[in-house]
Structure 1
Amino acid sequence: MTTTKLDLTGLKCPLPALKTRKALKSVAPGDLLEVHCTDPLSVIDIPNLIRETGDKVEITERHQNRIVFLIEKANGLIEKSNGLSPAAR
């Protein structure tokens, strides 16, 4: 298991979520992405992004102005229910 660190301190919405989405594309399934942000809206935007991607937020920490997310990359398989893709539900 590998952890990739992404420093997004100083960036404002929507850049932390956009850069996190881009970084997740290069992370292998089962590996971790550690994201450091200072934008207070990232506590809303990044968990919403993770719900969309199907990945998992392992840890969310707050240290003064810094917010840290530890995201586990999912295996890449999207579960289907009743034969419909998530977009068709």
Structure 2
Amino acid sequence: MSSEFDVTETLDVKGASCPMPVVKTKSAVDDLAEDDVLEVLATDSGSMSDIDGWADGTAGVELLDQVEDGDVYKHYVRKTE
């Protein structure tokens, strides 16, 4: 997958640990319009599985990609409804 998306907003949750990256991601997605893309920057390695699981079980969101960039985990989430 490519991490080149038309990012609408970036959420920086670096330094936050579980469950805060997911909690803050949900809150940020709630404020987006349909088809907007949220980039989430996290340093918690657990955010890879946490955000993937949250997106998989949540209607109205799609996890587009996840990228490990050094110590930062980048997640790209699209609001679909």
Q: TM-score range by the shorter chain?
A: 0.7 to 0.9
Q: Does 1:73 align with 2:64?
A: no
Q: Which residue of the other structure, out of 19, 23, 26, is the alignment partner of 2:24?
A: 19
Distance 1:11 1:2 in 2: 22
Q: Does 1:10 align with 2:15?
A: yes
Higher RCO, 1 vs 2 (CA within 8 Å, ≥6 residues apart): 2
Please give the TM-score of this superposition, normalised by the length of structure 1: 0.78
Distance 2:48 2:7 in 1: 24
Larger radius of gyration: 1
Q: How many residues align?
A: 75
Please give the TM-score of this superposition, normalised by the length of structure 2: 0.85
Aligned-pair identity in percent equals 29
Name structure 1 gaps, 5 residues minimum. 76-89
Q: Tell me if the contact between 2:37 and 2:77 (Cα under 8 Å) persists in the aligned partners.
A: yes
Q: Which residue of the other structure, out of 26, 46, 54, is the alignment partner of 1:41?
A: 46
Q: Which runs of 4+ in 1 moved over 3 A?
A: none
Name structure 2 gaps, 5 residues minimum. 1-5
